[in-house]
Structures are given as C-alpha cells and as structure tokens.
Amino acid sequence: MTLRMLVAGNWKMHGLSDDIAEIQAIAAAAREYPDVDVALCVPAILIERAARAVELPIGGQDVHFAEQGAHTGCISARMLRDAGASLTIVGHSERRDAQRESDAEVKAKAEAALACGLDVILCVGESLEVRNSGKAEATVDAQLQASLPTEHGVARSISEQLAVAYEPIWAIGTGKVPTTLEIAAMHRALRERLILQYPEDGAKIRILYGGSVKGSNAAEIFGVSDVDGALVGGASLKRDDFIPIVAAAAETVEASGEAA
C-alpha cells in the first residue's frame, strides 16, 4: 500500500528567534510539494512563534505524560497544543538514553499526546551493539510493542494520528545509514507489529526512517518498501538541505502513482 509521505524535521536543541525566518523559508518551499506532508518539531520555546508565523504543522520534541502538576521543567500535551503545536515526537533515542525514558513512559507520553489531539511520531531504534549481535529486529520490535499506545481516545483513526520512526541510534548524526535491505527488513517487522496491534489500521500507519537522511540519499531510502517518509535531524535546519528531501519524497510519490 502506498501511503502519503511524511517528512518531519527535528530541530533538537537548535534555533533562536532569528531562525523563524528559516522556518518561514522552509514552509514557503514546502508548499510547492502538496502531495507530501511536511512538519517541523522545534524547541518548545519557539513553538508559539513558529506556529504563528507559518501554516506548516509545528510540533514539540517531547511531552510529559501527566496532564499537569509538580513536574519542574516539563511540558504537558495541553501546553504544547496551547502554544500552537499539532504534533509531538516521543521516545527519541536521545531522550531514551540521556533521560533514561522507558518504553512504558514513552507509551504513556504517546497516550497523553493523542488524548489531547496531538499527532505523535513515536521513535524506536537499536544501538550498534544490538545491530552487531544480529538481534536488531527482535529488539526494536519488542521496543515498539511496549511503546505503542493502547489508548487513543479521540475521534480520528490511529493511522491518522500516529507515525512510527525507525531510527538506528548508530545512524543518528553520524553520516552512517543502514543498507536498503536492512531498512526493508526492519520496516517489514515493524509493519507486522503494527498490524498485530491495530488490525484495522496498522497497514496505514506511516513508518518513517530516521538517521543521517540527506538530499543525496533520500530517494534511495524512500524507494524501500514500507518507508513512508523520514524524520530528519541535522538536514532539517536549513531550507536548502531540507527541501531536497521533501522533493525526493514527492518524486517517489509521483513515480508510484496516486498516494492513498
């Protein structure tokens, strides 16, 4: 099944108010590719300004699982929405590692975001050690199974609200990318898990690839089956690096006929 492609940028801890101009440049250029969904997940303090400045969906990079309360420094799903976000990343490996976030916590965050009407990009991925042990698919499948939301109480279907991003930790920011066969095998395993978990909608949930995606490798990655877009870090910061990735997604859509 060909799904509508999603190319989402993750600005991580980059961006000041001056960079709203770059977000505007990205949004203006992205309008040229109406068959591709494009979103930018920016630092929390830029969300409100970015969301006011552009029509492009703006997202957070993390969310707390609680509705409110004594959680110093944390941001709730309602706060993200209030600031103008329409989506959020959860479970990025930089948070799973540095903030020791567990699968259960990631799942609770995804559920809190969905309950509030935010779309979710849920990240999973293996370390180099796991990849070299030959257990990458089993490990990432277990991680996904334990992180997937079971509660998603708003009116839209789960496939409209949730995307999964496969991001091998060893490929993030390193310039290294798995082979297309490795990506295909992992995305197939994740697709099977999604169908098991959501029999009605699992085939329609987008599975993004993330980790050193650039304009120069995007077309090859988008050509892999069950790759429905990308989560892009470093190359999302500048329009001139990011838009070629969006263009590659648009070309993939065009080459495969009408997207679902």
Q: Which is nearer to ligand PGA, 36 or 235 (CB)?
A: 235
Question: Are the beta carbons of 246 and 256 closer than 8 angstroms?
Answer: no
Measured distance CA(100)–CA(113) in Å, rounded? 20
CA 91 to chain centre: 10
Question: Are the beta carbons of 86 and 59 closer than 8 angstroms?
Answer: yes
Residues 6-25 that bind ligand PGA (CB under 6 A): 10
Q: Which of 167, 202, 237, 242 binds ligand PGA (CB under 6 A)?
A: 167
Minimum CB–partner distance for residue 196 and ligand PGA (Å): 26
Catalytic-role residue among 64, 92, 152, 187:
92
Query: Is-catalytic flag, 187?
Result: no
**Per CB under 6 A, 60 contacts ligand PGA:** no
Catalytic-role residue among 94, 105, 111, 167:
167
What is the x/- site pattern for ligand PGA, positions 183-222, by CB under 6 A? ---------------------------xxxx---------
Q: Beta-carbon neighbour count of residue 104 at 10 Å?
A: 11
**Per CB under 6 A, 168 contacts ligand PGA:** no
Minimum CB–partner distance for residue 12 and ligand PGA (Å): 7
**Per CB under 6 A, 233 contacts ligand PGA:** yes
At residue 139, the 3 state secondary structure works out as helix
Measured distance CA(171)–CA(174) in Å, rounded? 5
Minimum CB–partner distance for residue 13 and ligand PGA (Å): 12
**Per CB under 6 A, 61 contacts ligand PGA:** no
**Residues in Cβ contact with 171 at an 8 Å cutoff, skipping those fewer than 6 apart:** 125, 177, 178, 210, 211, 212
At residue 87, the 3 state secondary structure works out as strand
Question: Are the beta carbons of 260 and 250 closer than 8 angstroms?
Answer: no
**Per CB under 6 A, 42 contacts ligand PGA:** no
Minimum CB–partner distance for residue 193 and ligand PGA (Å): 20
Q: Which is nearer to ligand PGA, 8 or 189 (CB)?
A: 8
Query: Is-catalytic flag, 92?
Result: yes
Q: Which is nearer to ligand PGA, 91 or 210 (CB)?
A: 210
Question: Are the beta carbons of 177 and 211 closer than 8 angstroms?
Answer: yes
CA 59 to chain centre: 10
Pair of tokens at residue 242 = 């990011």
Q: Which is nearer to ligand PGA, 172 or 224 (CB)?
A: 172
Give how far Cα 196 sits from Cα of 3, 47, 189, 224, 227, Å.
19, 35, 11, 22, 18
User: Tokens 């429905």 label which residue?
Assistant: 228
Minimum CB–partner distance for residue 68 and ligand PGA (Å): 28
The set of catalytic residues is 92, 167
* Site for ligand PGA, rule CB under 6 A: 10, 167, 172-173, 210-213, 231-235
